[in-house]
Chain A
Amino acid sequence: MAPVVRDHPYVGLMKTLVALSERTKGWDAYDGDPVMTEALLGALQLAASLPRLGEIPLPAAGLAPDGAVVLRWLTPDQEIELVYRGQRAGEYSVADRATQGVILEGSLRDIVDPLKEIVDPYVAQPFRAQPW
């Protein structure tokens, strides 16, 4: 029997994020920390809000050595990252994909809505204009 409820398009991302909570101290062959719980909640909230932008490419999701959660999108020209260290704490950045030169970086505390201020202008709008 076919499933009654289809998977949400971002359920894979949600699963990847939740799986980060299984990492234990030293997961990176050095001294990598387990995920910060509040950071994971922040990233999950952002992931849950992505459907508000329609269909956009999924970010890669990973864990920084200090337990922060990293969400990274690659456009043809740029690398966009949101790094969660709490539900509203962390950093954002936009870098040139070829040179890795940072175009924009700042604290998530200094912006109201990362979805509207970072993901929409740097990922969703370019994707809608010319999908990759």
Chain B
Amino acid sequence: MADGALPFKDGEPLPAGTILYRTVPDEPSRWVREDRRPTGYSFRPSTTQEHISMALGLAYPAEEILRDFPALGLVELDAATLLSRGLRVIYSPTLGRGHVSVYGLRGARKSLVNEIVSEALRVWEPTTHKIVKSLRVVD
């Protein structure tokens, strides 16, 4: 869907039910190869950003993200997972294609980010792009 046809405007909070993506590098702190799962570190910001970046599924579908970043894995979340924990989920396409900024994760405890990861709807393994978790049926 072209950005102009999206139901959200720049700076608008995104509602529950919105599908979001976060890429995951094949790095020991971010991906547990033995268990084929992401860690919570993918949901912690760097020291220079207050937010973590995600992609709006309507604007940047999983298949295109995986094509553009062949070495990375991918986590799919419903924005409800973030909103229910008091996080702010803001559409910010000026920062990149389908960019979504998620605020409130600085200093988040491990238990919180683990809960977020555990509610992933789908997970694609880095490099192989095999779906290793799927709780959502996609046509």
B residues in contact with A65, CB < 8 Å: 41-42, 44-46, 52
Whether A30 and B27, one on each chain, are in contact in the complex, defined by CB atoms closer than 8 angstroms, is no
Q: Across the two chains, which residue of chain A brings its CB closest to B54?
A: A30
1/0 per position for B9-42, CB-CB distance to A under 8 A? 0000000000000010101111010110100111
Majority DSSP secondary structure for residues of B touching A: loop
Q: Which of A58-85 contact B (CB under 8 A)?
A: 60-67, 70, 72, 74, 79, 81
Whether A63 and B32, one on each chain, are in contact in the complex, defined by CB atoms closer than 8 angstroms, is no
Whether B30 and A62, one on each chain, are in contact in the complex, defined by CB atoms closer than 8 angstroms, is yes
When the two chains form the complex, which single residue of A28, A72, A74, A101 contacts B114, counting CB atoms closer than 8 Å?
A101
* Whole-angstrom CA separation of A70 from B114 in the bound complex: 15
* Whole-angstrom CA separation of A70 from B23 in the bound complex: 19
Given A31-B46, A95-B114, A99-B118, A74 contacting B32 (CB threshold 8 A): yes
The total number of A-B Cβ pairs within 8 Å is 77
* Whole-angstrom CA separation of A67 from B45 in the bound complex: 10
* Whole-angstrom CA separation of A32 from B48 in the bound complex: 9
A residues in contact with B32, CB < 8 Å: 60, 72, 74, 79
Whether A66 and B45, one on each chain, are in contact in the complex, defined by CB atoms closer than 8 angstroms, is yes
Whether A66 and B72, one on each chain, are in contact in the complex, defined by CB atoms closer than 8 angstroms, is no
* Whole-angstrom CA separation of A95 from B28 in the bound complex: 16
Q: Across the two chains, which residue of chain B brings its CB closest to A105?
A: B110
Given A64-B44, A74-B34, A105-B110, A29 contacting B25 (CB threshold 8 A): yes
15 contacts between A and B (CB under 8 A): A28-B25, A29-B69, A31-B45, A31-B53, A32-B46, A60-B32, A62-B29, A65-B42, A65-B46, A74-B32, A74-B35, A79-B32, A100-B118, A102-B109, A105-B109
Interface residues of A (CB under 8 A from B): 28-33, 60-67, 70, 72, 74, 79, 81, 91, 93, 95, 97, 99-102, 105
Q: List 9 other contacts, CB 8 Å, given A29-B25, A62-B29, A64-B41.
A: A30-B53, A63-B29, A65-B41, A66-B46, A66-B47, A67-B46, A70-B29, A74-B35, A102-B110
The 10 A-B residue pairs whose C-beta atoms are closest, nearest first, are A62-B29, A62-B28, A60-B28, A70-B29, A102-B111, A31-B46, A100-B114, A33-B46, A93-B110, A65-B46
